[in-house]
Chain A
Amino acid sequence: MGQSRIFAILSTVVVTMALIPLAYLLWRTAGAGTGVVDILLDARTFRILMNSVLLAAIVTALSAVIAVPLAFFTVRTDLPGKRFWSIATALPLTVPSYVGSFIIISAIGPKGSIIQNLLMPLGIERLPSIYGLPGAVLAMTLFTYPYILLTVRSSLQNLDPALEEASRNLGYSQKETFFKVTLPHLRPSIAAGGLLVALYTLSDFGTPSLMRFDSFTRAIYIQYQSSFDRTAAAVLALMLVALALTILALEFRAMGKASYFGSSAATRRPPSVIELGKWRLPALMFTASVVGAALVFPMAVIGYWLVRASFTDEFIRGLLQLTVNSIYVSGLAAAVAVLAALPVVIYAVRYPGRFSTLLERMTYLGSGLPGIVVALSLVFFGANFATSLYQTISMLIFAYVVLFLPKAVGTIRTSMLQINPRLEEAARSLGSGSLETLQKVTLPLVRPGLVNGAALVFLTTIKELPATLILAPIGFRTLATRIWSATDDALFAEAAAMALLLILASGIFMSIILKQEAQ
Chain B
Amino acid sequence: MTIIELKNITKRYNNTPAVENLSFTVEEGEIFAILGPSGCGKTTTLRLIAGFDMPDDGELVLAGKTVADKGVFVPAEKRKVGMVFQDYALFPHITVRENIAFGLKNLDDKEKDAIVENMLQFVGLSGLEERHPFHLSGGQQQRVALARALAPCPVTVLLDEPFSNLDADMRTQMREEMIKILRKSGTTAILVTHDQEEAFAMADRVAVMNNGRMEQLGTPEEVYHYPTTGFVADFVGKADFIDGTIEADGIRTEIGLFPNNTRLEIGEKVQVMIRPDDIEIEPAGTGCAVIKDQQFKGSEVLYTLELPREKYIHSVLPSTRTLPAGTRVDVKARPVHLVAFQNGKAVSEKS
Instruction: Identify the A interface with B (CB < 8 A).
Output: 160, 162-163, 165-173, 180-181, 184-185, 187, 260-261, 264-266, 272
Contact call B93/A165, Cβ cutoff below 8 A: no
Any A CB within 8 A of the CB of B231: no
Q: A165-B50, A261-B92 are in contact. Are A170 and B102 (CB under 8 A)?
A: yes
6 contacts between A and B (CB under 8 A): A162-B87, A168-B77, A169-B50, A170-B103, A171-B105, A261-B93
| Chain A, Cβ-Cβ closest to B151 | A170
Contact call B52/A173, Cβ cutoff below 8 A: no
Report the stretch among B78-86, B200-208, B277-285 that lies at the interface: B78-86
- Taking CB atoms, residues of chain B closer than 8 Å to A170 are 77, 82, 102-103, 148-149, 152
Q: A168-B52, A169-B77 are in contact. Are A163 and B152 (CB under 8 A)?
A: no
Contact call B85/A162, Cβ cutoff below 8 A: yes
Contact call B105/A169, Cβ cutoff below 8 A: no
B contact patch SS: loop
Any A CB within 8 A of the CB of B118: no
Any A CB within 8 A of the CB of B91: yes
What 1/0 mask marks residues of chain B from 79 to 112 whose CB sits below 8 Å from any chain A CB? 1111101110101111000000011010000000
Contact call A165/B89, Cβ cutoff below 8 A: yes
Contact call B77/A160, Cβ cutoff below 8 A: no
Contact call B87/A173, Cβ cutoff below 8 A: no
CB distance from A396 to the nearest CB of B (A): 46
What 1/0 mask marks residues of chain B from 276 to 307 whose CB sits below 8 Å from any chain A CB? 00000000000000000000000000000000
- Taking CB atoms, residues of chain B closer than 8 Å to A272 are 52
Instruction: Identify the B interface with A (CB < 8 A).
Output: 50-52, 75-83, 85-87, 89, 91-94, 102-103, 105, 134, 148-149, 152, 165
CB distance from B54 to the nearest CB of A (A): 12
- Taking CB atoms, residues of chain B closer than 8 Å to A180 are 102
Q: How far is the CA of A163 from the CA of B83 in the complex (A)?
A: 11
- Taking CB atoms, residues of chain B closer than 8 Å to A166 are 83, 85, 89, 91, 148
- Taking CB atoms, residues of chain B closer than 8 Å to A261 are 92-93
Contact call A184/B93, Cβ cutoff below 8 A: yes
Q: A170-B148, A170-B152, A184-B93 are in contact. Are A165 and B77 (CB under 8 A)?
A: no
- Which of B76, B78, B82, B102 has the most chain A CB atoms inside 10 A of its CB? B76
Q: A162-B87, A261-B93 are in contact. Are A169 and B82 (CB under 8 A)?
A: yes
CB distance from B23 to the nearest CB of A (A): 24
Q: A171-B105, A261-B92 are in contact. Are A165 and B152 (CB under 8 A)?
A: no
Contact call B85/A260, Cβ cutoff below 8 A: no
- Which of A162, A184, A261, A272 has the most chain B CB atoms inside 10 A of its CB? A162
- Taking CB atoms, residues of chain A closer than 8 Å to B152 are 170-171
Q: How far is the CA of A165 from the CA of B82 in the complex (A)?
A: 11
- Taking CB atoms, residues of chain A closer than 8 Å to B134 are 260
Q: A184-B93, A261-B92, A266-B165 are in contact. Are A169 and B87 (CB under 8 A)?
A: no
| Chain A, Cβ-Cβ closest to B82 | A169
CB distance from A186 to the nearest CB of B (A): 10
Q: How far is the CA of A260 from the CA of B133 in the complex (A)?
A: 11
| Chain B, Cβ-Cβ closest to A184 | B93
Contact call A169/B76, Cβ cutoff below 8 A: yes
- Taking CB atoms, residues of chain A closer than 8 Å to B79 are 169
- Taking CB atoms, residues of chain B closer than 8 Å to A173 are 75, 77
- Taking CB atoms, residues of chain A closer than 8 Å to B78 are 171
- Taking CB atoms, residues of chain B closer than 8 Å to A172 are 77, 105
CB distance from A185 to the nearest CB of B (A): 6
Which of B81, B87, B93, B102 is A266 in contact with, Cβ under 8 Å? B87
- Taking CB atoms, residues of chain A closer than 8 Å to B75 are 168, 173
| Chain B, Cβ-Cβ closest to A261 | B92
- Which of B79, B93, B103 has the most chain A CB atoms inside 10 A of its CB? B93
